[in-house]
Amino acid sequence: MPAPSPDAAGRPAADSVFSASGDLATEVTRIADGDSRNIEALHTLDPDQVDGARPKKRLGLFFWIAAGFFILIVVLAITAPWLPIKNPSKILGRPRLAPNSTFWFGTD
């Protein structure tokens, strides 16, 4: 069984972040106020002031190749009815015939 804590019951521990005022709500409010000031300060920063700020990236060659391929597919899909492609449902060659002297088992 663990040893009992030397701190008083219902009070924050001496090494706790809440030990300054002893009140949890007060300490949470103080921390939240500090965070809000930090966030407001970030809005006023200029990108040139930030260390390691990256310049805007340009779209690379692979993006333009992929975009061109996508546009080609879209154009082909739109113009498909007018492309000179043979009718896929038209029967080419011999039709299915019953067995005769030339084709003993018929034609498929």
For 12-30, letters b (16+ CB in 10 Å) and e give: beeeeebeeeeeeeebeee
pTM of the shown model: 0.34
Q: Which are the contacts of 27, defined by CB distance < 8 A and separation ≥ 6?
A: 17, 18, 20, 21
The pLDDT value recorded for residue 69 is 98
The pLDDT value recorded for residue 88 is 80
Distance separating alpha carbons of residues 72 and 64, to the nearest angstrom: 12
The pLDDT value recorded for residue 32 is 74
The pLDDT value recorded for residue 85 is 81
The pLDDT value recorded for residue 97 is 82
Place of tokens 């006023």: 44
Let me know: does 20 contact 12? Beta carbons within 8 Å: no
What is the full DSSP assignment across 9-44? TTS--TTSTTTTTS-HHHHHHHHHHHHHHHHHHHHT
The pLDDT value recorded for residue 55 is 67
pLDDT along the chain (108 residues), means of 10: 67 63 69 72 66 72 96 94 83 80 85
